Amino acid sequence: MSKSVQLSQAIEARLGLICPANGYATDLKAVHTEEVSDDKSKPMAMLSWGEDETRERVLTKVSRSRAYVIEGVFPRSAALADLERFHQDVLRALGWAGGEFDRPIPGQLIGDTAEIPRLEQGAQARRIVITIQTTYVENYA
């Protein structure tokens, strides 16, 4: 299995751990990788990836950089603090707290950004968009 698939699966699995029973502030109901209807239970996370690019190549091994986009979708009534806690929970779940997992994800987290778009009139949900920058090595042999 390719490192990119392993990395995506590991990130999705880690996000699925976000709930108070596991020591997180957010009680995440689900992680989706495809678009879902607005009537799904919230809060939920939508996982996709943005740019994936070559950084360095040596023979059949390629160092790659990939941006993962994690969109937290909360009820309209959610407080700004709920979205901010979700950002922290995501970073902790992906290992930024250090040493929480027996096996690290098959890549390296090198940075993140987060944005909470202004709540539009008539919107059914509040959102936070977190972009995680990763690097990993893929072997094309």
Q: What is the pLDDT of residue 36?
A: 80
Across the range 121-131, mean pLDDT stands at 93
pLDDT at 100 over 70: no
Q: What is the DSSP string of the chain?
A: --HHHHHHHHHHHHHTT-SGGGT-S----EEESS---TTS-SSEEEEEEEEEEEEEEETTEEEEEEEEEEEEEEETT--HHHHHHHHHHHHHHTTTTSS-SSS--SSEEEEEEEE-----TT-SEEEEEEEEEEEEEEE--
Q: What is the pLDDT of residue 40?
A: 79
121 lies in which domain range?
3-139
Across the range 51-68, mean pLDDT stands at 94
Q: What is the pLDDT of residues 70-88, one digit of tens each?
A: 999 999 999 999 999 999 9
Number of domains in the chain: 1
CATH of the domain at 95: 3.30.2000.10
pTM, to two decimals: 0.90
